[in-house]
Amino acid sequence: MEKNIELIHLEYLEKRFLALDTSKLKKLKYLTRGYQGEAEFLLWFKKFGSEHAKIIPNYWFHDGKTMESDFLIMTEKVWYTVDVKNFDGTFEYKNNECWLNGYLFDENFFHTMSTRVRKLQRIAQDVSRNIEVVGAMVFINEHCELKIDSQVDFDIVTRNQLKNYLTTVKQYRPLSTDYNKQIDTVLDRYRTTNPFRPTGLKPVELDKLRRGICCYNCSSYSIQITKKNIKCKQCNFDVLKREGVIEAARQLRYIFIDNPEFVTTDSVWRFCDNLISKNTIRRALTSQYERKSSGKSTYYDIPISN
């Protein structure tokens, strides 16, 4: 399971931006909590769910509108679309509105789930008329209290119910190769990319960033560079110099996400605060990424996740 583009972008901005605004910090906290909840659910599923069920995380699809299923779990006869909520506090659903600790959400998560189930049911029919799609909204945080004032047409699962719920996802034998191919063909037909793409900085804003090399492990900028390695003075985490260069270039790519041609030997050198020679940077990036030309300069084509 991969982090989405927006979360990676904000994580790198937090490491590098000298004055990240409140709205971005709030969004970073929200996305981080969501990712942690999904990662925890996946661990639960691997431990208690059926080993023979097919599971796809973060399935984005388009059928009249673009939607996401945090997890799509498939057996021969039942598909589960799972939405994981990692809320801390009191979540209320009242008067067709969603509230958390007195804060009203813009989105009606319950309405979205019902729509998601209907659309995935239609998609599942392309595989087999006998498949049933079941929605499951999982409140995975142990400190979440639920207050729901109406009946819903999908499953509500709290953390203390999750183990038993996952054991009901029955698939006693592996899905056949043909069935797997059929599922993949149908899902690919409707698959789309995450539409929530962040707006990157402009190249002229490089001076707003903190330059240098930060530790993979603890994000400290207190590092020691030797002939082959970069070592953190704070936590003693040690990486090859080549890996440090590649990570710095990746940070640059996500921060300036709208300008892929900005990742050049010179920009990475400046981003690292001239701590590593241009020759070392060039060798490291050439060994990892394809070089492309853009006018007078050559940049490194660093792919980003969806």
**Closest to 112 measured CA to CA, from 133, 98, 99, 126:** 98
Instruction: Count Cβ neighbours within 10 Å for each residue of 181-215 and write b for 16 or more, e otherwise.
Output: eebeebbeebeeeeeeebebbeeeebeebeeebbb
The string over 229-249, giving b where at least 16 C-beta atoms fall within 10 Å of a residue's C-beta and e elsewhere, is ebbbeeeeebbebbebbbbbb
Q: How many CB atoms lie within 10 A of CB 123?
A: 18
Tell me the backbone φ, ψ of residue 222, rounded to 5 degrees: -85, 90
- Give the DSSP letter of residue 1: -
Q: How far is CA 141 from the centre of its chain?
A: 18
Between the CA of residue 279 and those of 20, 228, 242, what are the distances in Å? 32, 13, 11
pLDDT tens digit at each of 306 positions of the chain: 789 999 999 999 999 987 788 999 999 999 999 999 999 999 999 999 999 999 999 999 999 999 999 999 999 999 999 999 999 999 999 999 999 999 999 999 999 999 999 999 999 999 999 999 999 999 999 999 999 998 999 999 999 999 999 999 988 899 999 999 999 999 999 999 988 889 999 999 998 899 999 998 899 999 999 989 999 999 999 999 999 999 999 999 999 999 999 999 999 999 999 999 999 999 999 999 999 987 778 999 999 876
Q: How much is the pTM?
A: 0.91
Q: What is the pLDDT of residue 288?
A: 93
What's the pLDDT tens digit per position in 254-303? Answer: 999 999 999 999 999 999 999 999 999 999 999 999 999 877 789 999 99
- The one-letter amino acid code at 158 reads T
